[in-house]
Amino acid sequence: MTSTLTALLYLGLFLSQTVSTEKQNLSKPIIWAKPDFMIPKGKQVRIFCQGTPEAVKYQLYFEGHLFLQQSPKQHGRRNIAMFHIPAMTPLTAGQYKCIYRSKKLWSNPSDPLDLVVTELYDTPTLSVHPGPEVTSGENVSFYCRLGTATNKFFLLKEGRSPHPQHRYGNTQVEFPIGPVTTAHRGTYRCFGSYNNHAWSFPSEPVKLQVT
């Protein structure tokens, strides 16, 4: 009896370690959107999810709920699923994640992808003080103003990852930056917003020159 019990314990430990190893080897997928994470109202967007080469099924989740399923396609050595949203609206803007299945196991979810719908209401104006041409070491402030009262503003620098600065305000907010360096050079736009995923039209661009 003792030897049988010992054998069963070893078998259980072996199976547990095997399953644990399989789960550890099933890495989380990568998720991204094209043409961008900001989509004008009514325009299409494609969401891509990339798992391991052995992935056989992908699922896309929107705000924690199953949204779409898709079989993968091979792109060279990459195993990718593509999910198509034909027209972006406030109802399809929000946070997405994806998972994939390999054999009988499902992966952990991807990092979150936040999609924003834009061009929903008025256009803000963006200005920079003391001016668009400053010297390295100076302090700079961007001012974003919207005629229609809102509660949140976003400032984006073109070419950066989708982590915009934000400030709470009614019709105008200040985005202080500085002391500036040449890394702050670039083109900026701002948006007004009623929530994190529904934004106004973009402001006209403001180009900051740092010498």
Tell me what pLDDT residue 15 has.
42
Domain 121-210 adopts which CATH fold? Immunoglobulin-like (2.60.40)
User: What pLDDT, on the 0 to 100 scale, is given for residue 109?
Assistant: 96
Which portions of the chain are predicted below pLDDT 50?
Answer: 4-23
| Spatial separation of the C-alpha atoms in residues 147 and 167, rounded to whole Å | 16
Cβ(135)–Cβ(128) under 8 Å?
no
- The number of angstroms, rounded, from the C-alpha of 69 to the middle of its chain's C-alpha atoms is 20
User: What does the pLDDT read at residue 158?
Assistant: 87
Per CATH, 30-118 and 121-210 having the same topology is answered yes
pTM above 0.85, yes or no: no
Q: Where are the domains of the chain?
A: 30-118, 121-210
The Cα–Cα gap between 137 and 172 comes to 26
Just give the CATH number of 30-118: 2.60.40.10
Answer for the pair 128, 144: CB distance below 8 angstroms, yes or no: no
Confidence at residue 162, expressed as pLDDT on a 0 to 100 scale: 60
pLDDT, tens only, 5-41: 444 444 444 444 444 444 456 789 999 999 999 999 9
Three-class HEC string of 93-158: CEEEEEEEEECCEECCCCCCEEEEEECCCCCCEEEEECCCEECCCCCEEEEEECCCCCCEEEEEEC
**What pLDDT does 129 receive?**
95
Cis peptide bond prior to 53, omega within 30° of 0: no
